Amino acid sequence: MPLQDKSNPYRTHSTDELRKDNAGEEVRLAGWVHRRRDHGGLIFIDLRDRWGITQVTFHPERGGVFSSAERLRPEWSISVEGEVVRRPEGNENPDLPTGAIEVEATRLEILNPSETPPFEIERDRPVDETLRLKYRYLDLRRERMRDKILLRHRVVKHMRDYLDDRGFVEIETPILTASTPEGARDYLVPARLYPGQFYALPQSPQQFKQLLMVAGFERYFQIARALRDEDQRGDRQPEHTQLDLEMSYTTQDEVLELVEGLYTGIVERLTQKRLLTKPFPRLTYTEAMNRFGTDKPDIRFGLELSDVSQPAADSEFKVFEGAVASGGSVRGIAVGGLGDLTRRELDELTAVATSGGAKGLAHFQVQPDGLKSPVAKLFSRAEQDTLRAALGAEEGDWMFFVADKNPVVFESLSRLRLHFRDRLGLADPDVLGMSWVTDFPLFEWNEDEGCIEPMHHMFTMPREEDLPLLDSDPLQVIGQLYDLVANGTELASGSMRIHNPDLQQKVFDVIGIGPEEAHNRFGTILTAFRYGAPPHGGIAPGVDRLLMLLTDEPNIREVMAFPKTQAARDEMMDAPGPISDEQLKELNISLRRGPGGERGSDPAARPGEGNN
Ligand code: ASP
């Protein structure tokens, strides 16, 4: 990158800038000692800044400079001055943009030495993650990390430019606020000025963006932080970033097209990945479940599910018959290219299915003279042929069936499908199979709590034709809800919103929030809707998830500059941590003593410490 200020005392050029044509120029460069080699009495330094690497040479005939250079060690911060020279024939490095030249140093200023880093910066070797997180500022110096953070910047910049071009306004919403539930626990902050009261950190700016629509901004976006106090899983963090957006006087199609254009631009302009299909296929929730067993389908490969409940129920196999009789189903997939499977391999596949809740996995191999399976004799030849035809199985293929309640059948076969994807290499890692999943149920039944919950959140507009069902059969109501999914991951979730206070209260009623509670918790939005609230809708694409997909990182921490550990700790800043008695007093908070008499926030009692 060309630097503008040639009078800068540290540098006149960046370390990716100099080429053959610069030979003979006097330049200054600054950065870190990436690598040092001593060679035939010469010292070679690879000098690194954010943009690249330039080789600097120190000759023994320049006594003072040479002896200072002898002290240099990796990661020292230096500034050098010297002449750009062409590298001798044969010494050029075609892998380096500056590989045709080197800078012969005439002056060296050591700006700051470095202790030996706890891990190598110059080479990409596996390093213990806790150590990397503790010294994140050094980890981020590594090329792989730097490049991901730079890509993240370009992605976010693309989002901003794309939306600005289309009339969207970026507006910040508060971090200290009241709770907007998104189905997770809130992070709470004690309010010193209001003893016993708490701010909630936003799980999303959902209510604010809807209020901005009432406020007349029409098209809003924000690169927003969403904070959710959830049990951590591989791809979750206490705080994550969303591109939060909302539009007024809009339709579902308009939102989908806008976001599709955004993602297409990001993938095609900023990455080497390919999109599987354009436009992105749109599947209803029911279709996604029936074909892939999940509402987050990986559409890059086949192995789609087939419903064989009817022929299966006709067989003598009690397990099939029983599942269908009790309202469940029998579904299966056909898989080619497996060859013969050993007992042990079949047990492993059964374990994959049972991890999804199935009680077992029925398996058949298609052979010239019929199906081969321990239970084959329970199926007449005609039934065998029907099953085979239903799955489109060919000779040599295996057929796998699960019989149970629908959710179990879907989950088990979906897991099996992904297992075969990985085992047989069915999906191209350089391809992004983006699809929309629409028409989700508005509510779902929470088995543990025995209550109805919103599938997404409680501000979603039901499908117009389903409004009467809100009273009679709410679980059948379809919401104007949509998710963007890629390669089995949900990238964005959004909906058309309710803008009528009475309808909003009706939805609250279904999930057990009566008028008084609704008034206390959501009074503002209910009141705002009484002032000519426009129809509106939006979506919130996850920024971290997208980056994970674009960089092939299965771990969300790899695409965040300063993530927390899986145990929700900030290893670098050592947070959370205890606070002083003074601070507690100011906040009017007293902590319960632990069993050993220690304070609840005693560092010795930190949950999950070191457990990464
Ligand atoms: N607020 C929602 C979420 O965070 C997204 C949306 O409906 O726009 O998931």
Q: Is the CB of 540 under 6 A from ligand 1?
A: yes
What is the chain's mean pLDDT, rounded?
Answer: 93
Q: Is the CB of 495 under 6 A from ligand 1?
A: yes
- Give distance in angstroms: CA of 113 to centre of ligand 1: 47
Alpha-carbon torsion (315, 321, 325, 327), positive or negative: negative
| 244 CA: nearest ligand 1 atom | 8
Domains in the chain (CATH in brackets) are: 20-112 (2.40.50.140), 146-283+434-559 (3.30.930.10), 301-426 (3.30.1360.30)
| Residue 118 pLDDT | 96
| Residue 177 pLDDT | 92
Q: Is the CB of 173 under 6 A from ligand 1?
A: no
Are the C-beta atoms of residues 452 and 445 closer than 8 Å to each other?
yes
Are the C-beta atoms of residues 552 and 427 closer than 8 Å to each other?
no
Are the C-beta atoms of residues 108 and 65 closer than 8 Å to each other?
yes
% of the chain surpassing 70 pLDDT: 96
| Residue 30 pLDDT | 98
Read off the pLDDT of residues 122-151 as tens digits, 9 standing for 90 and up: 988 999 999 999 999 999 999 999 999 999
Q: Is the CB of 485 under 6 A from ligand 1?
A: no
Rounded to a whole number of angstroms, the CA Rg of the chain reads: 30
d(CA 137, CA 562): 9
- Give distance in angstroms: CA of 182 to centre of ligand 1: 8
pTM of the model: 0.92
d(CA 514, CA 38): 77
Residue carrying the six token digits 């290499």:
425
Read off the pLDDT of residues 427-441 as tens digits, 9 standing for 90 and up: 999 999 999 999 999
What's the pLDDT band for 4 if we cut at 50, 70, 90? confident
- Give distance in angstroms: CA of 212 to centre of ligand 1: 15
Which residues fall within 8 angstroms of residue 118, CB to CB, at 6 or more apart? 131, 134, 135, 138
What's the pLDDT band for 234 if we cut at 50, 70, 90? low
Q: Is the CB of 15 under 6 A from ligand 1?
A: no
DSSP 471: H
Residue 63 reports pLDDT greater than 90: no
Give nearest CA residue, ligand 1 atom 7.
Answer: 494
Residue 611 reports pLDDT greater than 50: no
Angle among Cα 464, 466, 468 to the nearest 5 degrees reads 105
Q: Is the CB of 494 under 6 A from ligand 1?
A: yes
DSSP notation for 255-274: HHHHHHHHHHHHHHHH-S-E
* Backbone phi, psi, residue 141, to 5°: -70, -20
| 226 CA: nearest ligand 1 atom | 4
Q: Is the CB of 227 under 6 A from ligand 1?
A: no
User: Quick one: which of 392, 416, 384 has its CA closest to 402?
Assistant: 416
Does residue 337 come out as left (phi exceeding 0), alpha (psi in the -120 to 50 range) or beta? left
- Give distance in angstroms: CA of 206 to centre of ligand 1: 6
Give nearest CA residue, ligand 1 atom 5.
Answer: 540
